[in-house]
Amino acid sequence: MSSLIIINDPPYGTERLYNGLRLAHALIKREQGVTVFLMGDAVAGAKQGQKTPDGFYNAERMVRRVTAKGRVLLCGTCMDARGITEDEIVQGAEQSTMDALAEATVEADRVLVF
């Protein structure tokens, strides 16, 4: 069974990205296929070089964990609007398109939106 998790909110300020990635990790542990699509401000969660206070979650590390066994796609238009380039994103995450999101939606057994 495969899941598509679409996340829209910024990496910090709300906990939607945090919780969406936590769910992705839990599904991967259960050997489920997972694709995470980051849109809007959520694309900043895949930016390299994040520094967070001790004891606070780090979105970059969480995205890296997903890329180890799942897919992380980033809306290219959203990246452009925020001045984020492919060179600045976590290794394993991919700049993507709405067409790729449409394809992932059709292929997924379930779609969850955060």
- CA 46 and chain centroid, separation: 7
Domain covering 2-113, topology: Hypothetical Protein Ychn; Chain: A, (3.40.1260)
Phi-psi domain of 83 (left: phi exceeds 0; alpha: psi -120 through 50; beta: other): left
Distance of alpha carbon 110 from alpha carbon 1, whole angstroms: 8
Residue spans per domain, the chain: 2-113
Tens-digit pLDDT string for the chain (114 aa) = 999 999 999 999 999 999 999 999 999 999 999 999 999 999 999 999 999 999 899 999 999 999 999 999 999 999 999 999 999 999 999 999 999 999 999 999 999 999
Give the three-class secondary structure for 62: helix
